[in-house]
């Protein structure tokens, strides 16, 4: 039968919009379906995406070759995407990794080796030099650092999604601003229901992030753990900007996993104020239902986690004392493999792209490209870590 589209991508977040853009250069007849960001987060009762923010860390420094490769490939395309779309989203301010020297025996040593493979320029910072080079940060005397000056900094995820969507539409992709509530393999094609209408396609890619298992988007749920995390925002004044204004993105490895912290430099937000954002690895809630995830997105996060982050922030950056502090919700989508899922479901016509594992924003353009390759070519090769990306289903 004749279909409405050759390929449909479900989800207008960072990965889905990237997949649509890449598909636009591979084939005709592409649709990208998904709602835009809600105007009023706390009054919204539909689905959410996790890119409603102004800053996410970008880096290639990683102990895992696959994740480092995904990041490097994406970062190498940022300037082209910015130039072609006319939308700026990348700030190359560098990224600093710091932690106890004993960590060098495992994570740091592996990350340095991966960086050499990727051709990344990583500078080792001795403990005695950390305070002099990065005076905004107060860490234990035995902490060492690694600084990635190029191909590192932070991205504006909202702006990146806008850039991807603009280029996708320019490439002939149909943008449909509706929420998909059903995906069904009809034998010779796939039927997609969105906004009370049915659309048909030869193949469909479900890129709905932490909401992939909600509604009826997949033949079987993927094996993921969707959890809530809390982030805190420190409002910057002139005094604070003089101290923190030129800092790079920063990741601090604590002695305990719950003390790991990531810090985004001061960035201006839509309310006109400038905030330094900080988050960690602790989590208190997991979600199996749409309404529970939605309630979390409408909240201000977890108060106990906010206070934990506040205490660590003041230890690491005492000059933050006195700054107005607010908090917000974030959702992380973890897979048991530690890799994203990019592969077909029980249907050879329905693929899935999900599982950011809390580190995928910087790599979203490459992960989207891999989703596009999956739909267009039917498989991913070893050069794209295809076996590692095989989905696991619940």
End-to-end alpha-carbon separation of the chain, Å? Answer: 32
Look at residue 118 and tell me if it is in a domain. Answer: no
Tally of domains in the chain: 1
Assess whether pLDDT exceeds 70 at residue 103: no
Q: 133: domain CATH number?
A: 3.30.9.10
Is residue 101 situated within a structural domain? yes
Domain for residue 244, yes or no? yes
> How does pLDDT run across 176-217, given as a tens digit for each residue?
999 999 999 999 999 999 999 999 999 999 999 999 999 899
Given pLDDT bands bounded at 50, 70 and 90, which one contains residue 257? confident
Query: What average pLDDT does the segment 109-113 reach?
Result: 94
Task: Report yes or no on 350 lying in a domain.
Answer: no
| The predicted structure's pLDDT at residue 258 | 73
- In angstroms, the Cα distances linking 70 to 5, 236, 362, 369, 380 are 29, 33, 9, 10, 14
- The radius of gyration of the chain's CA atoms, rounded to the nearest angstrom, is 21
Reply yes or no on whether the pLDDT at 357 is more than 80: yes
Q: Is residue 270 part of a domain?
A: yes
Question: Reduced to 3 DSSP states, what percent helix, strand and coil does the chain have, rounded to the nearest 5?
Answer: 35, 30, 40
- Segment 103-110 mean pLDDT: 79
Which residue range is the domain that position 312 belongs to?
Answer: 96-111+123-155+226-331
Tell whether 320 is covered by a domain: yes
Task: Please tell me the distance from the alpha carbon of residue 207 to that of residue 383, in angstroms, as a whole number.
Answer: 22
Give the ranges where the chain is alpha helix by DSSP (H). Answer: 14-24, 65-75, 78-85, 107-118, 127-133, 157-170, 238-244, 290-297, 303-316, 364-377
Helical (H) or strand (E) element with 184: strand 180-185
Record the tokens describing residue 218, joined without a space. Answer: 């997949």
Q: Does residue 9 lie in a domain region?
A: no
Return the closest-CA partner of residue 13 out of 386, 371, 376, 381: 371
DSSP string, 260-308: -EEEEEEEE-TTS-EEEEEEES---EE--SHHHHHHHHTS---HHHHHH
Q: Is residue 239 in some structural domain?
A: yes
């Amino acid at each position: 039968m004749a279909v409405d589209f050759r390929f449909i991508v479900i989800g207008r977040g960072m990965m889905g919009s990237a997949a649509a853009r890449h598909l636009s250069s591979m084939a005709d007849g592409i649709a990208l379906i998904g709602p835009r960001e809600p105007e009023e987060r706390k009054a919204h009762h539909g689905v959410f995406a996790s890119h409603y923010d102004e800053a996410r860390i970008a880096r290639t420094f990683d102990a895992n070759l696959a994740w480092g490769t995904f990041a490097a490939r994406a970062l190498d395309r940022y300037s082209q995407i910015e130039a072609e779309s006319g939308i700026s989203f990348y700030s190359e301010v560098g990224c600093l990794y710091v932690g106890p020297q004993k960590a060098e025996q495992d994570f740091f040593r592996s990350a340095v080796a991966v960086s050499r493979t990727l051709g990344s320029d990583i500078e080792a910072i001795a403990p005695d030099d950390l305070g002099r080079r990065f005076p905004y940060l107060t860490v234990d005397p035995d902490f060492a650092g690694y600084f990635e000056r190029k191909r590192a900094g932070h991205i504006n995820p909202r702006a990146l999604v806008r850039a991807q969507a603009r280029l996708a539409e320019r490439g002939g992709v149909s943008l449909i601003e509706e929420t998909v509530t059903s995906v069904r393999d009809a034998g010779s094609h796939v039927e997609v229901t969105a906004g009370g209408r049915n659309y048909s396609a030869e193949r469909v890619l479900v890129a709905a992030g932490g909401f992939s298992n909600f509604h009826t988007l997949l033949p079987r749920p993927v094996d993921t753990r969707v959890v809530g995390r809390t982030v805190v925002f420190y409002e910057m004044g002139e005094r604070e900007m003089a101290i923190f204004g030129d800092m790079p993105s920063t990741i601090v490895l604590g002695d305990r996993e719950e003390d790991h912290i990531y810090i985004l430099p001061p960035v201006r937000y839509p309310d006109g104020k400038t905030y330094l954002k900080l988050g960690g690895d602790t989590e208190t809630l997991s979600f199996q239902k749409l309404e529970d995830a939605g309630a979390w997105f409408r909240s201000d996060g977890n108060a106990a986690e906010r206070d934990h982050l506040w205490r660590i922030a003041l230890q690491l950056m005492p000059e933050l004392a006195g700054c107005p502090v607010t908090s917000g919700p974030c959702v992380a989508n973890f897979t048991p493999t530690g890799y994203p899922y990019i592969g077909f479901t029980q249907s050879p016509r329905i693929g899935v792209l999900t599982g950011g594992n809390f580190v995928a924003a910087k790599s979203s353009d490459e992960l989207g490209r891999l989703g596009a390759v999956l739909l267009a070519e039917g498989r991913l090769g070893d050069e794209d870590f295809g076996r590692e990306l095989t989905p696991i289903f619940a």
